[in-house]
Structure formats: C-alpha cells, structure tokens
Amino acid sequence: QAQLVESGGGLVQAGGSLRLACTDSGRTFSGYAMGWFRQAPGKEREFVAGVSWSGDSTLTADSVKGRFTISRDNAKTTVYLQMNNLKPEDTALYYCAVRPFNTVVAVAARYSYWGQGTQVTVSS
C-alpha cells in the first residue's frame, strides 16, 4: 500500500518559491498517476496538478498555470511540485495522492491514497 509523505512546505513571502516533494515509502508508485491537491480553511479540496507515470502527460489547474510545475522521479518514487511567484491565495494544506490508473484527472475521488499534507503559507 502506498505510504505517502509530503515535505517542503513552509512560510514564504508573496512572490517567493517553494518546492514540495512527496515520497512513496511503500513503493507502490509503479505505473500510477500522481496528483497534488490543496485545501484552504473553510474551502473544499481542489486539484492543483497531476502527472502520469512516464511524466509525459500533465494537467495543471488554471489558477496555478504558469506558476506551478509538477514532475516526478520514479527512481526515487518522488513527485515534486515547484511553486513560483506564490500568492497569498495559495495558502493551504497541500496533499499528494496516488491514482491507481495511468491517466491524470482533476477529481479527488479518483485518487485512492493520500498523504498527511504539508502546510504552505504565503504572506503578503
């Protein structure tokens, strides 16, 4: 079973950058798409970005397009989210998730395994 551990969150000023990482310690990564979601207080969990197993197919939410980039290193069973030009509205708890198929979708219910999340706070 996938055991996902996120890292890289923190406090950053608007305009700054962070890189989140999610490692699958259970090593059930193989062949599956991965995604990043976020949830701000009082709001629903929303899709941020997703990537296929090979990395050649990605999907990015319009709200972060051009600022966030998802990538993965299958040898390290790790998926990354590079976040540039951060804005206060990006403040949220960020989760990674595994979808047990090799297609990227933006629906949280289609992902089966979730990490505990890493907090990102952007100050203005």
Q: What is the mean pLDDT of each run of 10 residues along the chain (124 residues)?
A: 88 98 82 96 96 95 98 92 98 96 95 95 97
Judge contact between 36 and 46, C-beta under 8 A.
no
* pLDDT value, residue 114: 93
Q: Is 108 within 8 Å of 37 (Cβ atoms)?
A: yes
pLDDT number for residue 26:
76
Q: Cβ(99)–Cβ(86) under 8 Å?
A: no
Spatial contact of 47 and 108, defined as CB atoms under 8 Å apart: yes
* R_g (Cα) of the chain, nearest Å: 13
User: Residue 121 has what pLDDT?
Assistant: 98
- The set of residues, in sequence order, having a beta carbon less than 8 Å from that of 43 and lying 6+ positions away, is 92
